[in-house]
Amino acid sequence: MTEVTVFFQHLPENDKFVPRSVLVDLEPNVIDEVKASSFGALFHPNMLINGKEDAANNYARGHYTTGKTIEPQILEAMRKQVEACDNCQGFIFNSAVGGGTGSGLPRFIAAKRVENAYPKIPQVSFSIYPSLQLSTCVVEPYNALMATYNMVEYNNITIILDNEAGYDIAMQHLIKYSANPLQKASYYNINSLVCKAISSVTCGLRFVGQQQSTIADIQTNLVPFPRLHFMTCSLTPVVSERNKEYSRWSEEEMTLRAFEKDYMFVKYHDWDAQEDQMSIYVYTYLICMPVVTHKKKKQYCGISLIYRGNADITAVNAAVQRAKETRVKLVEWCPTGFKISMIDRNLAVLDEDGMLATDRSLTVIGNNTAIVRPLEQRIGRKYDLMYSQRAFVHWYVGEGMEEGEFAEAREDLEMLVKDYMELKADPGTDQYEITDDENVDKSENRNQGNNTTTNTEVINVE
Ligand SMILES: Nc1nc2c(ncn2[C@@H]2O[C@H](COP(=O)(O)OP(=O)(O)OP(=O)(O)O)[C@@H](O)[C@H]2O)c(=O)[nH]1
Ligand SMILES: [Mg+2]
């Protein structure tokens, strides 16, 4: 049985199902492509919105100037979608944060949502973070920093899908075994992997299973404090179609591999052999943030495991137990941080994905304290290099953004790093000391509270 009406609205007049989604871009090409594609007829024409020109890779254009030209249309479309729901469970935002539209536009939509209309409806973002291999513009660190600042404030859950990690997963597990192992992974390869992860995160809403999870469940289990909602996601198995000998992955293999960096959609660059050797297990490096603690395993403050297909509950429980013993260290104050969901319906795999359709699959979403390292290294530090010279800043100021916003966003990222580091400190120890100022900030942040609902429909804004 499927809950088709979660993501689709039934139109009784022509007995048609239309997606509860609003597709937006500032320039017409992308939306025109959707209209011309084989899926074009699926969408309600009023839910495909575009402007006349793009944001020219500039967050400030997406947020302050060009983006505003289509604001009324977007808000009207969202209002209609919400009104068409009996019980709106949440908003899902899909965007890439390296460009001007994807970084700037969601921010003012989210701000409007919170200020005005739907403050209690949670917002989940699947955010594509930029990579060097697939970089399309110089100012990606500025755009990604501003988008992250926005997401700390407005999102309830942010699932980071990093193009660099997606590229490596595709190269390592799919392209390497393909007919042409020398080719480079394309956006198609990355997108097909990312779609599978997104599909698994939302499958608890769409299919009935032994143990389902809704957006509210995920939020309750994974987000201990409102600001600390940046998730690392992984998918197993990812096996090439031409590599069939590995086609039957046991529940244990799937589970243990999902905690390896090779299957994560966030690229952790600073895997350090020396520190790994200090660790009990090779996989334990991720928690070894040097300033904070001497502990050897990574530290999670919440993990959600979504098994799909014919996974067996007894084998799953044994596999999770093994992962607890060997791969995962939860923060001290969160001893039971595993949420398990099991859905009978497996992932859909297309021929062109080059991926083997296996009997079962696993998607792990983890709130791992290590997430701040790639954010700091790949966005914070690159931002520092450019901003120290005030390079490209005039393009942003020229579009109505105050220069001070950059500094605020950078400070906020530093606060996020400290907040995450503080999670790792043992209660009652002085392993990580915070100043009085930080104390005030944190108690304020934590008092903002989490809005959870137990409703049913979901709106996609892409
Ligand atoms: N995974 C993935 N990333 C993409 C894809 N297209 C673009 N990107 C990434 O998204 C970022 C740029 O986003 P774009 O979508 O080109 O930019 P935009 O949001 O439309 O913004 P403007 O073009 O400035 O208006 C870069 O980091 C790209 O690497 C895609 O199909 N898949
Ligand atoms: Mg664009």
Q: What are phi and psi of 320, to 5 degrees?
A: -65, -40
Residue type, 112: K
Give yes or no for residue 293 having a pLDDT over 60: no
Helices (H), 313-400: 313-326, 372-374, 381-388, 393-397
Question: Is 191 close to ligand 1, i.e. is its CB under 6 Å away?
Answer: yes
The pLDDT of residue 298: 56
Give yes or no for residue 414 having a pLDDT over 70: yes
Q: What mean pLDDT is predicted for residues 224-229?
A: 94
Question: Is 136 close to ligand 1, i.e. is its CB under 6 Å away?
Answer: yes
The DSSP-derived string for 432-460 is S---HHHHHHHHHHHHT--------EEEE
What is the number of the ligand closest to the CA of 106? 1
Question: Is 8 close to ligand 1, i.e. is its CB under 6 Å away?
Answer: no
Q: How confident is the model at residue 173 (pLDDT cuts 50, 70, 90)?
A: very high
The pLDDT of residue 109: 78
Neighbours of 273 (CB within 10 A): 8
Name which of 39, 43, 85 is nearest 205 in CA terms: 85
Quote the DSSP letter at residue 117.
I
**Model confidence pLDDT, tens digit, residues 93-119:** 999 999 999 999 987 777 776 666 777
Give yes or no for residue 272 having a pLDDT over 50: no
Q: What mean pLDDT is predicted for residues 38-47?
A: 93
- For 18, the 3-state DSSP assignment is strand
**Model confidence pLDDT, tens digit, residues 298-313:** 588 899 999 999 999 9
Q: What mean pLDDT is predicted for residues 245-274?
A: 80
Whether 330 contacts 301, CB under 8 Å: yes
**Model confidence pLDDT, tens digit, residues 277-288:** 333 333 333 333
The pLDDT of residue 167: 94
Give yes or no for residue 294 having a pLDDT over 60: no
Distance from C-alpha of 243 to C-alpha of 249, rounded to nearest angstrom: 12
Question: Is 51 close to ligand 1, i.e. is its CB under 6 Å away?
Answer: no
Ligand 1: which atom is nearest the Cα of residue 26?
25
pTM of the model: 0.87
The pLDDT of residue 245: 62
The residue among 245 and 14 whose pLDDT is bigger is 14
Quote the DSSP letter at residue 2.
B
Distance from C-alpha of 236 to C-alpha of 258, rounded to nearest angstrom: 6
Q: Tell me the best of 23, 69, 101 to mutate to test the pocket of ligand 1, counting ligand atoms within 8 Å of each CB and taking the most.
A: 101
> Which helix (H) or strand (E) segment is 91 a member of?
strand 88-96
The pLDDT of residue 400: 92
Question: Is 106 close to ligand 1, i.e. is its CB under 6 Å away?
Answer: no
> What does the mean pLDDT of the chain come to?
83
Neighbours of 75 (CB within 10 A): 17
Q: What mean pLDDT is predicted for residues 43-67?
A: 94
Q: Could you tell me what percent of the chain has a pLDDT over 70?
A: 83
In Å, what is the CA distance from 244 to each residue of 53, 130, 241, 264, 425?
Answer: 46, 32, 6, 22, 44
Q: What mean pLDDT is predicted for residues 330-345?
A: 85
Where b means 16+ CB within 10 Å and e means fewer, 223-259 reads: bbbbbbbbbbbbbbbbbbbeeeeeeebebbebbbbbb
Whether 148 contacts 379, CB under 8 Å: yes
Distance from C-alpha of 236 to C-alpha of 347, rounded to nearest angstrom: 11
In Å, what is the CA distance from 124 to each residue of 104, 109, 231, 362?
Answer: 16, 13, 11, 20
Q: What mean pLDDT is predicted for residues 433-438?
A: 38
The pLDDT of residue 23: 96
Query: From ligand 1's centre to the CA of 111, what distance in Å?
Result: 22
Atom 20, ligand 1: residue with shortest CA distance: 101
Quote the DSSP letter at residue 98.
S
Q: For each of the domains in the chain, give its residue range(s) and CATH number, in order of start.
A: 4-373 (3.40.50.1440)
Burial of 28 (0-12, 13-18, 19+ CB in 10 A): middle
Question: Is 187 close to ligand 1, i.e. is its CB under 6 Å away?
Answer: yes
- For 121, the 3-state DSSP assignment is coil
The pLDDT of residue 236: 94
**Model confidence pLDDT, tens digit, residues 58-80:** 999 999 999 999 989 998 998 89
Give yes or no for residue 169 having a pLDDT over 70: yes
Whether 109 contacts 74, CB under 8 Å: yes
What is the number of the ligand closest to the CA of 143? 1
